[in-house]
Each structure stands twice: as C-alpha cells, then as structure tokens.
Amino acid sequence: MRLVELSRSEHAGLRIRADRVEASAASQHLVPIVVSEFRKAATQYPIVFAKNPETGRFAPYVLNGLGVEENLFWSGTELDVAYVPLNVRRQPFYVGMNDAPNGPATNVLCIDLDSACLDGSGTKTIVNPDGSDSAYLKEILSILGELVAGKKTTEQFIASVLSLDLLAPIMLDIVLDDGTPLQVQGLYGLDEEKFRQLDAGQVASLWKTGYLDLIYAVLIASGQIFKLIRMKNQRIAASRAWHSNAS
C-alpha cells in the first residue's frame, strides 16, 4: 500500500476501474462498518464486534465468512450481495490525518497508488475535463464523509453498550456438512439476556439516543449466521461435485 495525498492536478490523469473495487474485499472475513450502515447491513450480514489488534478497542464489522480471510459473498468477479459496506465502496481512497506541527490535525483525502483499481483501462476519473470534481469523486467524497462522521457516533454507541455490559464473546461451534468442526474466535455480540434485564430508565435512554434501533438491528442480524453456514455448505457440496466429476 502506498498512500499519498490526492492532488486534483497531479492525479488528474488517473483512470480508475470501478469494477475492481469489490475485489479488494475478496479475502476479508471482517469489514468495519459505522452505525449509519447497521440497518442496511443487517439485511445481509451478521453484525459482530471485534477488537482492533493495535488498540484493543471494539468496532462493529460485517461478517463475510466463517474462517480468517474467507469472504463467502465473493463470486470470483464481484460481491454477490445486496449491500456493500462503505469501507469497500470507498476503495482505493482513504482518509488520512494531516498532523501539522501547529494547529489541529485535519482530515486529508488520500489515494492508494498501489491499488489494482488504478489502471489505464479504467473509465472513472477524479476530475472533469474542466478541472471540476467528477461525479465519481463526489460520490467517493460523500462515502468518506459518512465514514468520518460515523466514526465518532460509532465510538459513542460502543462506549454505551460497554458501559451497560451488553457485549459478550460469541461462541460459534459449528459442524459443517462434511463433518469439519468450526470454531470462530475473537468475535463479540450483544448479550440478549443482559439486554432484557435493563431497567426502564436505561431502555428509555437508549431509545432517546437512537441506540435501541441499532441494538435491534444487531440482534436481528445475528440470524444471518445461518445464511453464512448455508453458503459455506453449498461451497463444500459444489467442490465435492467438482471432485467427483473430475475423477
């Protein structure tokens, strides 16, 4: 990865292949999301919580697979799913921090010059011929804007559920159709039993902050794990069929 600050003049000639964006998530079993995505994500994925390995802080993620580096939604050419998280769609752009020696740190728009999305055959450009921001770049800026705004609200939501002791490790003990036992570790979910024990005052405060909606989104999304197991078993069956045909 080679992140540089995006320059409208210097990078005006870059061509971007939007059809390669989703490939960046082909081997990601977890993609971080922000709270504004919970409702949409819940219709497609389990929403789980995991710790950042550098800071130990919790963040929400969509779960794409049952093993490390497994994305069951990746078809080989695209993500076969009705909602693709912002953190995939914003590729190959990033938000960096400009830590100026004096004054507050500000966000700067960066691009990964090593990204496979940068290719002469791409159809997207960052600026129009007249030098103004392209519709494509405007779309990217709006996605990154939602991510930046969502960072703080997501952290506040996490702090709130942690203070109520609502997070608990998820113990997934799955046996696949081919008999392989699967154990998924390091994932956390909402503890429904503890959630039910909250008193009226606590629930009222969750409702006022809008966190109650988010909690229900996560609880409902937890059932999506069965979809992942089904997809995984279908893959096993497909690969078995392929092997028996081949032999």
Partner 1 sequence: MVSPVRSICIVGGGTAGWLTAGIIAARHRAESGRGLQITLVESETIGIVGVGEGTWPTMRTTLKKMGISETDFFRQCNASFKQGAKFARWATGEESDFYYHPLMLPEGFPSLDLAPFWTKYSDEHADAPSFSDAVCFQEAVCELGLAPKLITSPEYAGVVNYAYHLDAGKFAAFVRDHCIKNLGIRHIVDEVTQVVKNDTGDIAYVETSKSGRLGGDLFIDASGFRSLLLGEAMGVPFVDCSHVLFIDRALAMQVPYGDEQSNITPHTVSTAQKHGWIWDIGLQSRRGVGYVFSSNHTTVDAALAELRAYVGGAHRDLQPREIKITSGHRQTFWKGNCVAVGLAGGFLEPLEASALVLIELSADMISAMMPATRETMDIVARRFNQTTQYRWDRIIDFLKLHYILSQRTDSKFWIDNRDPASIPESLKEQMELWRYRAPGDQDFTSNNEMFPAASYQYVLFGMGFRMDVRHQPLDRDLGSAQRAFTQNDTLKGKWTKALPKNRDLINKIKDLGLQKI
Q: Which residues bind partner 1 (CB under 8 A)?
A: 51-58, 162, 165, 167-169, 186, 188
Complex with partner 1: residue 165 or 177, whichever CB lies closer: 165
Which one, of 230, 234, 195, 224, lies nearest residue 211 by Cα? 195
Give min distance, CB of 57 to partner 1, in A.
7
CA distance 155 to 185: 22
Complex with partner 1: residue 168 or 220, whichever CB lies closer: 168
Phi, psi (rounded to 5 degrees) for 106:
-120, 155
CA distance 54 to 68: 18
Q: How far is CA 62 from CA 25, 47, 59, 76, 167, in A?
A: 12, 5, 10, 19, 16
Q: Note whether 187 and 169 are within 8 A (CB).
A: yes
Indicate the SS3 state at residue 192: helix
Q: Say which DSSP state 152 is in.
A: H
Give min distance, CB of 162 to partner 1, in A.
8
Two tokens, residue 59 = 């963040």
Complex with partner 1: residue 190 or 228, whichever CB lies closer: 190
Query: Degrees (nearest 5) of the Cα angle 65, 223, 171?
Result: 65
Which residue is it, tokens 């960052």? 126
Give min distance, CB of 223 to partner 1, in A.
23
Complex with partner 1: residue 113 or 162, whichever CB lies closer: 162
Give min distance, CB of 240 to partner 1, in A.
32
Complex with partner 1: residue 135 or 159, whichever CB lies closer: 159
Give 34: exposed, middle or buried? Use CB within 10 Å, 0-12, 13-18, 19+: buried
Rg of the chain in Å (alpha carbons): 21
Complex with partner 1: residue 51 or 138, whichever CB lies closer: 51
Give min distance, CB of 145 to partner 1, in A.
27
Q: Note whether 26 and 139 are within 8 A (CB).
A: no
Give min distance, CB of 55 to partner 1, in A.
5
Complex with partner 1: residue 186 or 210, whichever CB lies closer: 186
Give min distance, CB of 204 to partner 1, in A.
25
